[in-house]
Chain A
Amino acid sequence: MRNVLVIIKKQLKDTLKNKTVLIQFIMFPLMTLVMENAISLPDMPELFFTKLFSVMYMGMAPLTSAAAIISEEKEKNTLRVLMMANVKPWEYLLGVGTYVWILCMAGAGIMATGLPAADVPFYLGVMAAGFVISIALGACIGIFSSNQMTATSLFVPVMLVFSFSPMLAMFNDKIEKVARIFYTQQLRVLMNQMSFEGIKPESILILTVNAVLAIALFFVAFKRKGLE
């Protein structure tokens, strides 16, 4: 367990100096605060920007940062040094995953400042679940990629699909029909209802299938490629 904490500590230090990863964690919380306070249009749904950006944040930040961190370590051969220092692959992946999840949750905490206090636990629960699925997908891409360039070419389309489809679904019914099979769209639906009572079995089923697929894909990727 000590090695997991070492990895988290290392990432915290590194992220403060890694602008490309740092911006992933800061951009959407900052945009949410600015937009919610700066823009107010008639007939605009309540907390429109918070909900919109939350889903985009969920589909983008954990996925891209997990993939970028793992692929960079592989490309620069620092991951091999860690493995030879007797850090187990699961310790490394758990460390990176936990670190990304904590930073994303901190970002979600900032985004939740505009919500009524009663809605905050539900909102954070939804965000936490979304972050876990996105981290698993990001880790898959990181494991599959031998360098950062390959990781970028893989995570950009995946991230675009998951983070932008819920927004496009708001304006187009056909896209909505396709997007509903994605976890980000289902979590957006849950966020609109903002209550545990309103959760439909269909949403639970789709979220479960997405989570199982992401985790299964992660194990397949790990079994085939390991961390070499």
Chain B
Amino acid sequence: MISAKGICKSFTDKEVLSGIDLDIKPGKIFGLLGPSGAGKTTLIRIITGQLGFDSGEVRVFAKPVNELTGDDKKKIGIMMDDHGVYDRLSCTDNLKIFADIYGVPYSEIGKALKETGLADSAKKPAMKLSKGMRARLQLARVFMVRPKILFLDEPTSGLDPMTMKYIHKLILDRRDSGCTVFLTTHNMEEAAVLCDEVALLNEGKIVDRGAPSEICRRYNHQKTINIHLKTGEDISLVHGAESAEKISSLIEQGKVETIHSSEPTLETVFIELTGRKLEAEEEIRYA
């Protein structure tokens, strides 16, 4: 559905993307993970044809991106982090503009608003919507055209957990209906919940890729089991027959408070690979 080979992009003398290869299969959610400034938005802008690139090849719907027709582009839905809505217009009027541009019947507007939980706010001006509702209005805008490919740039950035969960459900529903989703995020929990495949982007290079669970297993060097006992003591046991016996004994004696395997999260894998925290910049921003 989307493929890229050796994409390089520089702004003045700074190389932003270096040799990016991608192959995204239809009906999958692909997550591009990386800290702010890693090049995620630049890559989306290149793949969606908004930005040129220095070298490499990008194909969407098996066509070079610069040869996409107007009809092809109508099958692509894009929600960028910084995209706005028309503040003075109601939710319905916001969607009517794009229904007119895409030639979508107005009956789809009500469906899109209902799907995104905005049916009760249909007549409300966009300026009176909360941040989460604005994000859902943007989603309604891209959902309304029933795209084959959905590009979502940080779709839940800065949203509360409830809205985030709601948006996750909407994205998963889209994937289940056959839509291919390309999503960027610096939230590794989000990537683990949503993505069939992720690529870790750091300083313009993909440092690793694969299914989230597969990546975490691959970097499970410690292979330990961490137990927190009711006494407050923490113990780590390496995988093995001896440990199994000890764990069994501790459980039988009712001493175990919590038990976890040492399998890393995507974030710890990212730190191991790059020495950077995925959300470091965000933490600074909200500090």
Say yes or no: A9-B100 contact (C-beta < 8 A), given A14-B88, A18-B88, A77-B83. yes
Nearest CB to that of B73 among chain A residues?
A: A86
Checking B84, B88, B102 against A81 with a beta-carbon cut-off of 8 angstroms, the contacting residue is B84
**CB of B21, distance to nearest CB on chain A (Å):** 25
Say yes or no: A17-B125 contact (C-beta < 8 A), given A6-B97, A85-B102. yes
Give the docked Cα–Cα distance between A18 and B127 (Å).
13
Q: Which B residues are CB-close (under 8 A) to A9?
A: 97, 100
Residues facing A in B115-158 (CB within 8 A) are 125, 141
Q: Could you tell me if B48 and A10 are in contact, using CB atoms closer than 8 angstroms?
A: no
Query: A70-93 toward B: CB 8 Å interface, digit per residue (1/0)?
Result: 000000111011111111000000
B89 in the interface (beta carbon within 8 A): yes
Q: Could you tell me if A85 and B101 are in contact, using CB atoms closer than 8 angstroms?
A: yes
Say yes or no: A14-B82 contact (C-beta < 8 A), given A3-B101, A86-B101, A87-B101. no
Q: Could you tell me if A77 and B125 are in contact, using CB atoms closer than 8 angstroms?
A: no
**CB of A25, distance to nearest CB on chain B (Å):** 16
Q: Could you tell me if A17 and B88 are in contact, using CB atoms closer than 8 angstroms?
A: yes
Q: Could you tell me if B88 and A86 are in contact, using CB atoms closer than 8 angstroms?
A: no
Q: Which A residues are CB-close (under 8 A) to B86?
A: 10, 14, 78
Give the docked Cα–Cα distance between A39 and B73 (Å).
59
Residues facing B in A105-160 (CB within 8 A) are none
Q: Which B residues are CB-close (under 8 A) to A85?
A: 98, 101-102
Q: Which A residues are CB-close (under 8 A) to B141?
A: 81
Size band of the B side of the interface?
20 to 34
Interface size counted on chain A using CB atoms at 8 A = 20
Give the docked Cα–Cα distance between A132 and B85 (Å).
29
Checking B70, B80, B97 against A10 with a beta-carbon cut-off of 8 angstroms, the contacting residue is B97
**CB of A136, distance to nearest CB on chain B (Å):** 25
**CB of B131, distance to nearest CB on chain A (Å):** 15
Checking A13, A82, A84 against B48 with a beta-carbon cut-off of 8 angstroms, the contacting residue is A84
Q: Could you tell me if B70 and A86 are in contact, using CB atoms closer than 8 angstroms?
A: yes
Q: Could you tell me if A76 and B87 are in contact, using CB atoms closer than 8 angstroms?
A: yes
B276 in the interface (beta carbon within 8 A): no
B78 in the interface (beta carbon within 8 A): yes
B50 in the interface (beta carbon within 8 A): yes
Residues facing B in A188-218 (CB within 8 A) are none
Give the docked Cα–Cα distance between A170 and B70 (Å).
54
> Which 7 residue pairs are nearest across A and B when measured between Cβ atoms?
A76-B84, A17-B88, A77-B84, A6-B100, A78-B84, A86-B73, A85-B101
Contact residues of B with A, CB < 8 Å? Answer: 48, 50, 70, 73-74, 78, 80, 82-89, 93, 97-98, 100-102, 125, 141
**Known pairs A76-B87, A78-B83, A78-B86 / 14 extra A-B pairs, C-beta < 8 Å:** A6-B97, A6-B100, A9-B97, A13-B89, A13-B93, A14-B88, A17-B125, A77-B80, A78-B85, A83-B50, A84-B80, A85-B101, A86-B70, A86-B73
